[in-house]
Amino acid sequence: MLYETPALEPVDKAVLEEIEEMRRDLKYRLAETHRWDGQLRRQLQARAIQGSNSIEGYQASVEDIQSIMAGEEPLETSAPVAREIAGYQQALTFIQLLSRASVFRFDVGLLNSLNFMMIGHHRDKTPGVVRPGGIYVRNSATGEVVYEGPDAEQVPGLMDQLVEWLNGGDPDAPSYVRGAMAHFNLVSIHPWRDGNGRMSRALQTLVLGRDQILTPEFSSIEEWLGLGENTIDYYRALRETQQGAWRPHGEMLGWVRFCLKAHHMQAQRVRQRLAEAGEIWMLLEEQVDADGLNSRTVSALYEVFVNRRLRRSRYQADEGLSQGQAARDLRDLAAKGWLRPYGETKGRFYAPGPRMERIKADFAERVTPLRDPYR
């Protein structure tokens, strides 16, 4: 028996309608192609990867994650953490493809495969193979056991039930609620020796992707869950609902509300970023034109605006340039005070110059606070 989907109350339905309205608006805006769309999607995917891995203690900057996504060596991230990032990125890339697949069914083999993609570099943890024994989740600060998973003998049957439910259970439930329940049931079954949290968050993203809510990078709440106090609230919501052990019960509304709030808050962030992207891009176009620079250099400036740094190879790939063309453009931008170079050869990168810093400071003062939909 799995944890069952709760009935929503009027306040939850109101929050859900607001989420769906924001997602419809995003879908409408994304239907029109913009020059900045590719970079925005890449940034959102990197932030989702960053969020889900930071929850597990694997810290990496968005800039380094984007380098890893592009198959490049990160500038700051250690090799062990880079392997965690690369594994998670591989699984999320597969989830993006599965979200659009015309023929698809959930099955246990798929979930095991995604787990192997994430942690396959940890062969000692038998990635992609259901755990052979019991499992305990401990408080990292105190060592106290805060959750005990179901006995290993129960896990195969529970995974079969979960897959059956994923393929047809609660068909009338809103996608956001089904995603929340998939997340909770998988993390509570805790079927593998490692990667259970990341797998559960990724499964939630896949459920939404299959329901065509939006592409995974625009519907994931992983970035939100990985932000500071949100991570504490996330663990608190899990522990309060799990009550220390696998005991399927009907008290699931608190968990679903936590997830609906996360979707609402993240949708607000994404909508702000999408609106800001267009404004920033047009502003930079005006500046580039006034300076007599090639219009393609706007993509380099936009990258430096949204991130802390830019590498020549990133700009070169984005604009389809030769190494020489990309290097010349970046030198011109540095000479005009838009960029500031650091490092040499493969470690060279460009950070905001004084002119870009002024624009970033102006936008930083215009941040609109997010609204908690349950308050």
The overall average pLDDT reported for the chain is 93
Q: Residues 293, 68, 224, CA angle at the centre, nearest 5°?
A: 90
* pLDDT per residue as tens digits for the range 85-106: 999 999 999 998 999 999 999 9
Residue span of the structural domain in which 312 resides: 291-364
* pLDDT per residue as tens digits for the range 263-319: 999 999 998 888 889 999 999 999 999 999 999 999 999 999 998 899 999 999 999
In a domain, 369, yes or no: no
Task: Report the candidate in 249, 232, 234, 245 with the shortest Cα–Cα distance to residue 147.
Answer: 245
122 with 263, same domain: the answer is yes
48 with 131, same domain: the answer is yes
202 with 308, same domain: the answer is no
Which pLDDT does position 35 carry in this prediction? 87
In a domain, 285, yes or no: no
140 with 35, same domain: the answer is yes
Dist. CA 59–CA 283, nearest whole Å: 33
* pLDDT per residue as tens digits for the range 112-169: 999 999 999 999 999 999 999 999 898 777 878 999 999 999 999 999 999 999 999 9
Residues 6+ apart with CB under 8 A from 115: 127, 128, 192, 195, 199
CATH number for the domain spanning 203: value is: 1.10.3290.10
Dist. CA 115–CA 177, nearest whole Å: 23
In a domain, 36, yes or no: yes
Last residue of some domain: 269, 299, 322?
A: 269
* pLDDT per residue as tens digits for the range 165-215: 999 999 999 999 999 999 999 999 999 999 999 999 999 999 998 987 767
In a domain, 1, yes or no: no
169 with 300, same domain: the answer is no
| Other C-beta atoms lying within 10 Å of the C-beta of residue 75 | 17
Place of tokens 């063309």: 325
27 with 57, same domain: the answer is yes
160 with 198, same domain: the answer is yes
Last residue of some domain: 269, 303, 331?
A: 269
313 with 171, same domain: the answer is no
Identify residue 69 by its one-letter amino acid code.
Answer: M
43 with 157, same domain: the answer is yes
Which pLDDT does position 34 carry in this prediction? 84
CATH number for the domain spanning 307: value is: 1.10.10.10
228 with 167, same domain: the answer is yes
Total-model pTM: 0.92
Number of domains in the chain: 2
Which pLDDT does position 175 carry in this prediction? 93
| Other C-beta atoms lying within 10 Å of the C-beta of residue 209 | 25
39 with 137, same domain: the answer is yes
Q: Are 336 and 285 in contact (CB under 8 A)?
A: no
Dist. CA 142–CA 21, nearest whole Å: 43
H helical segments located in 152-225:
155-168, 175-189, 196-210, 216-219, 222-225
In a domain, 97, yes or no: yes
Last residue of some domain: 219, 237, 269?
A: 269
- Two tokens at 201? 């968050």
| Long-range Cβ contacts of 20-28 (<8 Å, 24+ apart) | 20/174, 22/264, 22/267, 22/268, 22/271, 23/213, 23/214, 23/219, 23/267, 25/271, 26/214, 26/218, 26/267, 26/270, 26/271, 26/274, 27/214
| Long-range Cβ contacts of 323-328 (<8 Å, 24+ apart) | none
138: buried, middle or exposed (CB in 10 Å: 19+, 13-18, 0-12)? exposed
In a domain, 375, yes or no: no
For residue 342, which phi and psi values (nearest 5 degrees)? -140, 150
Q: Are 61 and 77 in contact (CB under 8 A)?
A: yes
Q: In percent, how much of the chain has pLDDT > 70?
A: 100
254 with 300, same domain: the answer is no
In a domain, 5, yes or no: no
In a domain, 3, yes or no: no
Q: Are 44 and 217 in contact (CB under 8 A)?
A: yes
